[in-house]
């Protein structure tokens, strides 16, 4: 038996390998890691790691000796060049950072393949978007470059008021940099939040000294002879910067899957059991698209929870165990003193109830469709968030008076 090959050793890929072993799978597992580091967590890259409060060792998903101790063959700095689905063979190449002289198999054969190739940062598609000092943030290498630039930078321009842009803005602001965030929409996180939450976050960032330019985009970047850049905006304005951070979203790594004809639609399409259109190939994490509970369309979710849960589903299926229930998606973001936690994705709520005072910086927004609770966004109320994961997954009917009353615990419902 050839066992399982996993392409991508991040949140999804590592979890597939770990869960397979936890569930007693005893055939070979090859975990192919496109990067030269030990597999690591991405969320701290824009948070604690950028702020220097955790080092590279603190990012590791598992300890260095974990893989060998569980019989997981970790191939670092190894790139899967192509898949032959007929012969179940992977063609391997050395990836950047591979050490000269390390022996690498040319190919691997699998019984089952898991694609966990994730996503990559979208680059800024304007003149000068590839200049030195215009940086995206996806890998530990990106974060190291950004940290080095931040040491000497005075002025930072950030393209995009999404989670990554805002988290970097928070960190750069705390480091005393002059920070400007440029956003094409008229407010932060406009596709994800109602105006009241966007305004709450914007005010916190403004208090930290961050300036915002809404309704405009970077139209070009010019290098000056003194090393600084001039950033031009579509509204005709411009600003000088030492560092430009690009946080305008991610693009799915589904190229390998497309080449072998797997069904894809903004992500590799998988069913409820995280199986692709080929019965020998599963997919999990940022690269996979599926139907979320209560939703009609398939979508891709870029979150640790989604990657880990899909990975556990694959491991359960491959070992003949019960498939874990799909839960409402949840996510977190840390910005300044705001610990934001969200569960559920519904945007078409017909009522939003606030639990706690927004001004106090400790509250939850509860979203309703009719009587049913469909989503909860919590700010510094982890206790609400933990309870809400279950309540939103079950779409329970929660009386609004009780929802508003912080003396009544959410966990007592449902």
> Which run of H or E residues covers position 366?
strand 363-369
* Spatial separation of the C-alpha atoms in residues 384 and 342, rounded to whole Å: 10
Nearest to 7 by CA among 321, 290, 260, 359: 260
Residue 242 vs 309, nearer CB to ligand FAD: 309
Contact footprint for ligand FAD (CB under 6 A):
7-8, 10-13, 32, 34-35, 42-43, 45-46, 79-80, 116-119, 137-138, 164, 253, 256, 285-287, 302-305, 307, 331-333
Q: Measured from the CB of residue 231, what is the shortest distance to ligand FAD in angstroms? A: 21
Q: What does the alpha-carbon distance between residue 391 and residue 387 come to, in Å, rounded to a whole number?
A: 7
Give the single-character DSSP code of 395. T
Cβ 118 to ligand FAD, closest distance in Å? 2
- DSSP of 150-177, one letter per residue? HHH-SEEEEE--SHHHHHHHHHHHHTT-
**Shortest Å, Cβ 234 to ligand FAD:** 26
E-strand stretches of 76-140: 78-84, 89-94, 107-109, 112-115, 119-121, 134-135
Which CB sits closer to ligand FAD, 164 or 248? 164
In the complex, least distance from residue 304 CB atom to ligand FAD, rounded to whole angstroms? 4
Residues 184 and 182: their CA atoms lie apart, in Å, by 7
Q: How far is the CB of 350 from ligand FAD (least distance, A)?
A: 27
331 or 367, CB closer to ligand FAD?
331
**Least distance to ligand FAD, CB of residue 65, Å:** 20
Cβ partners under 8 Å of residue 348, min gap 6: 369
Q: Whose Cβ is closer to ligand FAD: residue 34's or residue 398's?
A: 34
When the beta carbons of 45 and 157 are compared against ligand FAD, the nearer one is 45
| Smaller CB separation from ligand FAD, 137 or 241 | 137
Q: Shortest approach of ligand FAD to residue 157 CB, angstroms?
A: 18
Q: How far is the CB of 166 from ligand FAD (least distance, A)?
A: 11
Q: Which is closer to ligand FAD, CB of 11 or CB of 229?
A: 11
Compare residues 29 and 403 and give the one whose CB is closer to ligand FAD. 29
Give the residue from 164, 152, 86, 184 showing the smallest Cα distance to 119: 164
**281-283 sheet: strands from edge to edge:** 72-75, 29-32, 4-7, 112-115, 281-283
Cβ-Cβ contacts under 8 Å for 87 (sequence gap 6 or more): 109
Burial bucket for residue 175 (CB in 10 Å: 0-12, 13-18, 19+):
middle
Positive or negative, the Cα torsion across 266, 268, 269, 273?
Answer: negative
Residue 143 DSSP label: H
Closest distance to ligand FAD from the beta carbon of 353 (Å): 25
Nearer residue to ligand FAD within complex by CB, 198 or 333: 333
């Amino acid at each position: 038996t050839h066992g399982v090959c996993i392409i991508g050793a991040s949140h999804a890929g590592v979890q597939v390998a770990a869960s397979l072993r936890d569930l007693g799978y005893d055939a070979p597992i090859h975990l192919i890691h496109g990067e030269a580091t030990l597999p690591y967590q991405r969320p701290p890259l824009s948070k604690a790691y950028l702020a220097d409060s955790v080092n590279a060792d603190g990012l590791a998903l598992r300890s260095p000796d974990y893989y060998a101790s569980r019989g997981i063959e970790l191939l670092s700095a190894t790139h899967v060049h192509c898949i032959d689905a007929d012969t179940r063979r992977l063609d391997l190449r050395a990836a950047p950072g591979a050490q000269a002289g390390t022996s690498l198999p040319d190919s691997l054969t699998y019984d089952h393949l898991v694609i966990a190739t994730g996503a990559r940062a979208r680059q800024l598609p304007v003149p000068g978007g590839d200049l030195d000092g215009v940086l995206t943030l996806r890998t530990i290498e990106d974060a190291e470059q950004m940290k080095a630039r931040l040491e000497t930078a005075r002025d930072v321009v950030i393209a995009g008021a999404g989670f990554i842009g805002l988290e970097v803005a928070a960190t750069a602001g705390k480091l005393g940099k002059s920070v400007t965030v440029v956003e094409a929409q008229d407010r932060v996180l406009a596709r994800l939040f109602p105006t009241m939450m966007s305004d709450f976050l914007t005010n916190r960032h403004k208090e930290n000294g961050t300036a915002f330019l809404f309704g405009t985009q970077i139209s070009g970047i010019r290098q000056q002879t003194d090393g600084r850049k001039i950033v031009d905006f579509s509204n005709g304005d411009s600003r000088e910067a030492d560092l430009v951070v690009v946080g305008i979203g991610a693009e799915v790594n589904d190229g390998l899957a497309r080449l072998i004809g797997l069904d894809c639609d903004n992500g590799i399409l998988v069913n409820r059991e995280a199986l692709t259109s080929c019965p020998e190939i599963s997919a999990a994490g940022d690269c996979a698209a599926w139907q979320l509970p209560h939703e009609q369309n398939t979508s891709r979710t870029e979150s640790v929870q989604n990657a880990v849960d899909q990975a556990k589903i694959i491991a359960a299926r491959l070992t003949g165990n019960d498939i874990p229930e799909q839960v409402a998606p949840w996510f977190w973001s840390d910005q300044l003193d705001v610990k934001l936690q969200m569960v559920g994705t519904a945007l078409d709520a017909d009522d939003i109830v606030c639990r706690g005072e927004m001004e106090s910086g400790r509250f939850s927004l509860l979203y309703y469709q009719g009587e049913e609770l469909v989503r909860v966004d919590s700010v510094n109320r982890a206790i609400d968030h933990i309870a809400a994961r279950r309540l939103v997954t079950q779409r329970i009917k929660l009386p609004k008076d009780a929802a508003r009353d912080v003396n009544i615990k959410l966990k007592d419902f449902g």
